[in-house]
Structure 1
Amino acid sequence: MYQTVFEISGSIPWRALGFASAGVFMMAVGYVMWLVANERAPQWLTDLIEQMPRRKPITKRALRGFAMLWIGFSFFWVATASTGIVGGWLSYRSALESGEHEVVEGVVEDFVPMPYRGGKHESFTVSGVRFSYSDYNVTPAFNRTRSHGGPIREGLPVRIAYLARESQNTILKLEIPVSEPATSDHDESIERPAFPFWLFTALMLAFALAMGWLLFINKTASLKRRLLPVLVVLGSLVLILYGLDTGAPPLFVGIIVPIMLLNLWITRFCDACGATVISQTFWKRPTECTKCGAALGSK
């Protein structure tokens, strides 16, 4: 007896639509730029943008034009990605429900798992029919690899409804025996990273928020001088640990360390107004505040 672990005719593929949702965030950023350009932004946001170092002042007209281009591109991203994903889902669902698909039943053979970080697709054959997929491919069809919790393994009896195409057999429905677990989440034999991507993302987001507050909102120069090295070192350590965990070459560490030191070198703070001053040239430290014109001294 089989249990269904995936079926394309189920709910809307929200997991795949996550790719399109990035465009919504981009539109929000563009809308904020448009508000600033039209002087409709909250005062705290205007002050924050004024704090940001730049070589030349940005005109309202230029910012307005850039914001419109940004919003237009973001809308195109959302519309194109959503249409492609939902359109594919509707097409696959129609093929499954109308019977315009193939069915193969047998035992999984030639199973090649995908590493957790990707790099190649997971693949296998059933009765001579080959399937290949990856979690990192944006598709409403089945693409959950074993390293990310998928149920496929060598020797597993399966029944698969699929859409046969020239270069790809797309899995529309996957059934496995009821005695088999529907996921591999508890399979301790699978090598998973010690530093998962969600943790890396959360730490880097926290780092970005902390740096934004310290550099562009806080006005106490002495506090900035004390905390900046701590935050930069912590952020660099997160990058290095994640890089080492994902198999990055030693050169990766060799790049991160000089960048960390360079950021500390070119960033200074004004005691007079509390502004952050970042040099536009990496070989020369700023000597004058770009906001109030005060000398920065030797600190």
Structure 2
Amino acid sequence: MNSFETVYDFSSGDGFSRFAVLLFPIGFFLFSKLRITPKIEEKETEDFFLNNLESQKNIAFIIKYFSLILFVMLLILFSIKYCKTYFLYKDSKIITQGFVNNFHPMPSGGHDSERFTVNGVEFKFSDFDISDFGYNNAKSHGGAIDENKYVRISYVKVKGSNQILKLEVRK
């Protein structure tokens, strides 16, 4: 019986988790808007950076608008990359299945990558690299790939490497 459990599927929305990076500039903006600006407006300059009120306003302005610009830039870059990956997945995906061989797990502290082959196709990824929308959950952080596990992988070739866009594990 060859029933598979889908662990990761880019096309089902799993790829959207990478957009969480956009929360950082939003956080900077909200911190500036809700925490720094009220202190300046209330003229609570004691125990606050810079004693000059005009300098404080300028810094708050820079933080707010820099975070907005960063948010827009990241949103555009991630959206373009997501669309490119989506069209590659729809038009150019390659499917392979077989047992995981030559498994090299990523250490839990990082500073290396997880590597393995399936049916002669090499795969490599790291938990700490979110530059693409492929599967990157290493065994040391709860990932599903392990030596001699039977998997079916849908992937695309991107810049000389194979990016996993759908991972299924045999039950």
**Match of residue 150 from structure 1:** 143
Structure 1: 5+ residue runs without aligned partners? 180-299
Distance in 1 (CA, whole Å) between partners of 2:134 and 2:59 is 37
Deviation of 1:12 after TM superposition, in Å, equals 6.0
- Give 1:1-299 correspondences, 5 Å limit: 1=2, 2-11=4-13, 13-31=15-33, 32-37=35-40, 39=41, 41=42, 47=44, 50=46, 52=47, 57-97=50-90, 99-138=91-130, 139-177=132-170, 179=171
For each residue in 1:216-243, what CA deviation from the matched residue of structure 2 results, as whole angstroms up to 9, or x when unmatched? xxxxxxxxxxxxxxxxxxxxxxxxxxxx
Amino acid in the other structure paired with 1:10: S
Distance in 2 (CA, whole Å) between partners of 1:5 and 1:12 is 10
Deviation of 1:152 after TM superposition, in Å, equals 0.3
**Is the partner of 1:155 in helix, strand or coil?**
coil
Amino acid in the other structure paired with 1:20: L
Deviation of 1:61 after TM superposition, in Å, equals 1.5
CA distance 1:164–1:86, shift in 2 (3 Å): same
Distance in 1 (CA, whole Å) between partners of 2:13 and 2:105 is 27
Distance in 2 (CA, whole Å) between partners of 1:14 and 1:102 is 21
Deviation of 1:33 after TM superposition, in Å, equals 2.7
Q: Is the 8 A contact 1:85 1:140 kept in 2?
A: no
Larger radius of gyration: 1
Distance in 2 (CA, whole Å) between partners of 1:103 and 1:7 is 13
TM-score (norm 2): 0.84
For each residue in 1:10-46, what CA deviation from the matched residue of structure 2 results, as whole angstroms up to 9, or x when unmatched? 1264532222211111111222333443x2x5xxxx5
Amino acid in the other structure paired with 2:84: S
Structure 2: 5+ residue runs without aligned partners? none
Deviation of 1:53 after TM superposition, in Å, equals 6.6
Distance in 1 (CA, whole Å) between partners of 2:146 and 2:14 is 27
Distance in 1 (CA, whole Å) between partners of 2:14 and 2:154 is 19
Whose strand fraction is larger, Structure 1's or Structure 2's? 2
Q: Once the two structures are aligned, what percentage of the paired residues are identical? A: 25
Deviation of 1:172 after TM superposition, in Å, equals 0.8
Amino acid in the other structure paired with 1:115: P
Amino acid in the other structure paired with 1:123: R
Cα RMSD of the aligned pairs, angstroms, is 2.2
Q: How many residues align?
A: 167
CA distance 1:53–1:4, shift in 2 (3 Å): closer
For each residue in 1:92-146, what CA deviation from the matched residue of structure 2 results, as whole angstroms up to 9, or x when unmatched? 222223x322222222111111111211111111122211111111133211111
Distance in 2 (CA, whole Å) between partners of 1:101 and 1:53 is 55
Distance in 1 (CA, whole Å) between partners of 2:107 and 2:56 is 43
Which deviates further from its counterpart, 11-20 or 162-171? 11-20
Q: Is the 8 A contact 2:151 2:167 kept in 1?
A: yes
